[in-house]
């Protein structure tokens, strides 16, 4: 039987263009902030999991586990890099959870980090494309925005949805990010601005895409025994954690819009958590593109297929709505430093459950879910957390 696992520390850097900070500096800054928040000594960390996708291509640097452990002043800990494309952060958290739940470790850290803005746009595009099948997809010239554009076009035609409704997801996220000190874009945008922004891959427009950015987020997880020895005032428990994979390439799936892996991951996390969809008080979805945010609402069960955008338009994703979602800006406005995104999502849920989400706080939030995608939903990480006190 798995042991109980708690999150007792959280820390992050602001997402943006950090020209004056290296990859390791961002990671260490977030990690030490999480250690301070947990009120423990960094020497009590027994293992470190670093979520990252592109350090090898963009910085020419691998071996991140030992690198971050060294510069954080905790050499000797078990440490490794976890890579699962854009789901690297969520999967790293899953590995950290398993390490504590198994009883092997009492206290572990997970750090998600990515540094993208120092690289040429063409190099970033090429690095992102490594998440797809190089022999059968990438060689054709397909990009991730192009692949998501195919899903978007199919969705609009299959369900007869107006693009303006889907694009409203970006408007929602920017509104939520205004009060988030970690957010890359703390400004509201109008639907008119979104719909008049340049086409990137028809029908996706520029302001429907998550930005390129640098950032790091970190969390400290511990066992029940560790918590008894180190009492903490703000306790959040991990009650469900799952990872699933889909057929990698969209064109090889029986139905490109049928996110089978997503359903498996959500259902597994729900069974583990012993909660239902209606029990979720706050939700984080992977809106690298607006269409993914809307599809996530539907696959999770918060809306029938083809009707997810209705929740956006009717304001049901805001605090006080049916399912408050991406309440601190999501990937679109908080930012999307790829390997760090999954950890930022969970950190945002932790802030909500602690009652520290500022103006975006969801009243009496008790249970939260974070969903993190890798590739075009080729890997899905779903983590469910509950406020203990």
The residues that are catalytic are 86, 336
Q: Could you give the CA distance from residue 46 to residue 241 in angstroms, rounded to a whole number?
A: 21
Q: Could you give the CA distance from residue 356 to residue 62 in angstroms, rounded to a whole number?
A: 35
Query: Strand, helix or coil at 224?
Result: helix
Task: Judge if the upstream peptide bond of residue 97 is cis by omega within 30 degrees of 0.
Answer: no
Q: What is the DSSP string of 248-277?
A: SSGGGSSSTT--HHHHHHHHHHHHHHT--G
Q: Is the Cβ–Cβ distance between 2 and 101 less than 8 Å? A: yes
Inter-CA distances, 99 with 7, 106, 309, Å: 13, 8, 38
Strand bridging mode 47-51 / 236-245: unpaired
Q: Is the Cβ–Cβ distance between 96 and 47 less than 8 Å? A: yes
Provide the β-strand partners of residue 296: none
Report long-range pairs for 307-311 (Cβ below 8 Å, ≥24 apart): 307/159, 309/161, 309/165, 309/166, 309/168, 309/169, 310/165
Query: Strand, helix or coil at 220?
Result: strand
Residue written as token pair 């708690």:
6
| First CA to last CA distance, the chain | 24
Inter-CA distances, 320 with 94, 330, 331, 352, Å: 29, 17, 21, 13
Query: Strand, helix or coil at 140?
Result: helix
């Amino acid at each position: 039987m798995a042991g109980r696992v708690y999150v007792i520390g959280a820390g992050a850097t602001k997402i943006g263009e950090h020209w004056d900070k290296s990859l390791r500096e961002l990671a260490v800054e977030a990690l030490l902030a999480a250690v301070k928040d947990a009120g423990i000594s960094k020497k009590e960390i027994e293992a470190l999991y670093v979520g990252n996708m592109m350090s090898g291509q963009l910085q020419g640097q691998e071996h991140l586990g030992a690198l971050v452990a060294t510069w954080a002043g905790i050499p000797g800990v078990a440490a490794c890099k976890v890579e699962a494309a854009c789901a690297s952060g969520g999967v790293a958290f899953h590995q950290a959870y398993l390490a504590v739940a198994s009883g092997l470790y009492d206290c572990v850290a997970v750090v998600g980090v990515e540094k993208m803005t120092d690289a040429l746009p063409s190099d970033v595009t090429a690095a992102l494309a490594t998440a797809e099948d190089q022999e059968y997809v990438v060689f054709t010239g397909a990009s991730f925005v192009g692949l998501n554009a195919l899903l978007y076009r199919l969705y609009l035609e299959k369900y007869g949805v107006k693009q303006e409704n889907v694009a409203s997801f970006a408007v929602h996220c920017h509104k939520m990010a205004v009060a988030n000190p970690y957010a890359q874009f703390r400004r509201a945008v109008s639907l008119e601005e979104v719909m008049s922004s340049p086409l990137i891959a028809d029908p996706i427009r520029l302001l429907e895409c998550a930005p390129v950015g640098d950032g790091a987020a970190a969390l400290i997880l511990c066992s029940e025994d560790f918590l008894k020895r180190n009492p903490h005032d703000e306790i959040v428990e991990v009650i469900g954690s799952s990872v699933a994979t889909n057929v990698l390439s969209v064109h090889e799936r029986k139905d490109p819009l049928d996110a089978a892996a997503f359903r498996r991951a959500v259902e597994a996390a729900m069974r583990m958590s012993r909660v239902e969809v209606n029990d979720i008080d706050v939700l984080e979805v992977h809106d690298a593109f607006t269409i993914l945010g809307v599809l996530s609402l539907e696959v999770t069960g918060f809306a029938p297929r083809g009707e997810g955008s209705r929740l956006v338009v009717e304001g049901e994703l805001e605090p006080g709505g049916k399912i408050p979602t991406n309440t601190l800006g999501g990937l679109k406005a908080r930012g999307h430093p790829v390997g760090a995104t999954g950890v930022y999502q969970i950190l945002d849920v932790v802030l909500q459950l602690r009652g520290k989400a500022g103006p975006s706080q969801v009243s009496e939030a008790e249970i939260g879910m974070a969903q993190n995608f890798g590739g075009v939903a080729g890997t899905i990480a779903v983590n469910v957390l509950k406020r203990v006190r």
